[in-house]
Amino acid sequence: MAECEKGFNFCYSYNCLLQELQSKYESRSIAEFWPSETTARNTCYHIFYSRKEVECRSFANLEINEQQKYITLNNGRQLFLKYDNMNKSGNRILIFMSDISSEILEKSEEIHMDGTFKYAPGLFYQILGVHGVYKNFVLPFAFIFLEKKEAGSYYESLEQIKRLS
C-alpha cells in the first residue's frame, strides 16, 4: 500500500472517494473525469515532493535568508547566526550563538572547544562546540560549522568568538 506520510494511506482514501462517487453518479461519468489510482497517486506524489525544499548540495548555492538567521527566545526574536564569512570557494564558517550566551561567555572562568565530525550536516566537515565554565557549571555557548579542518579555519573561528563575546 502506498503511504506518503505516516497515517495517510493513499490507496484507501482514493478507494473511499471513488466508492462515494460511484454511489452518486453514473460509471461512465466517473470513468471520464476520475483518473486511475496510479495516475492520481503519481500526481499527488509529484506535487508533494516538488513543494519540499531542495537540499543544498554546494556552498555556492547555500543561501541563508534573514528569517533563518533569527531564533525566537522568551517571546522575542534575536539574531542567532552571529557570523558567516560568506566564503563560497571552500572555507565557509558559520557561528551560531544567542545574545545571552555571548554575555555569559564573557564572564566565564574557562572556555573549552570540542569538535565532532560524525554529526556535521552534509556540506560541513565539522561542528565545533564552544563551552564555558560559569558558576561551576559547564554551559554550551556557541556552535561553529566548519567546511574544512584547517588551522586557518580554527584561527578565524576563535577570533570571531573573541569579537562576539
Which runs of consecutive H residues, i.e. helices, occur in 37-131?
37-50, 99-107
Q: Output the CA angle 76-80-84, nearest 5 degrees.
A: 150
How many angstroms separate the CA atoms of 148 and 127, rounded?
10
- E strand or H helix at 18, and its extent? helix 10-24
- Could you tell me which residues are beta bridge partners of residue 131? 112, 140
- pLDDT tens across 113-129, in order? 999 888 888 788 899 99
Interval 30-74: pLDDT, tens: 777 777 777 777 777 776 666 655 566 666 677 888 888 888 877
- The model's pLDDT over 131-157, given as tens digits with 9 standing for 90+, comes to 999 999 899 999 999 998 889 999 999
Q: Is residue 112 classed as helix, strand or coil in its secondary structure? A: strand
d(CA 58, CA 54): 12
Instruction: Return the percentage of the chain with pLDDT > 90, whole number.
Output: 22
Query: What pLDDT, on a 0 to 100 scale, did the predictor assign at position 28?
Result: 77
CB atoms within 10 A of CB 2: 15
Of 127, 118, 119, residue with least CA distance to 145: 127
